[in-house]
Structure 1
């Protein structure tokens, strides 16, 4: 994994640059994202390590992928992310993880994730912007996908696709780890 300070500084630099490119004041970005002005200031100054939910809300409000917000090397036409450069954004209490493998703007943010959810672990997500879709491919175990309060069981070897504009989450109620690959496509925000 890349150095946490490197990621924090990249987030600070990229957030400020993208906010300014879009002409958003701190207050405007706070209103669009639901993240407090104070938190945005702390992130832009590299003084905090925000939660996954906070980074997702800011990326959604800016209309960029999380990968673009965290990118610390934007110098190549082909972005190759090796395993040791992938960014872990979620850690479960029993060793699970959510790792952002890569992401692009196509034309809205498009992200590829790798998840490991250990038995008894789960992760909940706030609704993404309307029109956001996710595709989850379960490689091992049995994923319990909760969408708008309803559970859906996705066994190994299956792929689920769904609108992610609702509250949703991923859970492992079984006794073997769940491994899944997740693609998230977020539409561009209205201007």
Structure 2
């Protein structure tokens, strides 16, 4: 387990403790079993993208903010080989934190990469009303906001505020690479 994953596990445990929640309360809010939550907080396993999304929703944090909190003394300049990459091989998803991590800044840039057929669903945003921009660099992305479907191709950019469910799908035979800008109020 990497140093960032260990710090992430510690941060997950501290977030629950700060709120005075038991594992049972958090399990009820996230739909993640009590046993799995305990393993995540002890650093015995790494959370999947979906689990991180549910935890971020419960804590009211963007996923990128939670990951940034796991960084130690974040740099102002982040070289490509220093950028944190989160991989969920089972879902065919890769997420690269392009912006140097900082809890004091309002915008961050993230790169997403989906394998053909990948389908990621989020039941709720981590923070309601966050302004986001999705810019597709290569391939085709089907992005859903609640029941509204957007088919984005290379060069297309979608701007919105996220309040409800969302879904990322790579419907083509080729992977899709996209950038997301998240702006906190």
Structure 2 length-normalised TM: 0.75
Match of 2:155 among 150, 154, 157: 157
Match of 1:66 among 57, 63, 67: 63
Gapped runs of 5+ residues in structure 1? Answer: none
Gapped runs of 5+ residues in structure 2? Answer: none
Match of 2:94 among 92, 97, 100: 97
Which residue of structure 1 lines up, in the alignment, with residue 15 of structure 2? 18
Question: What RMSD over aligned residues (CA atoms) do the two structures have, in Å?
Answer: 3.1
Distance 1:11 1:60, change over 3 A: same
Distance 1:79 1:58, change over 3 A: farther
Which residue of structure 1 lines up, in the alignment, with residue 129 of structure 2? 131
SS in 2 for 1:114: strand
Q: Which runs of 4+ in 1 moved over 6 A?
A: none
- Any idea what the Cα deviations from partners look like across 1:132-165, whole Å, max 9, x if unmatched? 4432011222322122244211222221023433
Which residue of structure 2 lines up, in the alignment, with residue 121 of structure 1? 118
Distance 1:138 1:132, change over 3 A: same
Structure 1 length-normalised TM: 0.73
| Cα distance in 1 for residues equivalent to 2:42 and 2:27 | 16
Distance 1:60 1:15, change over 3 A: same
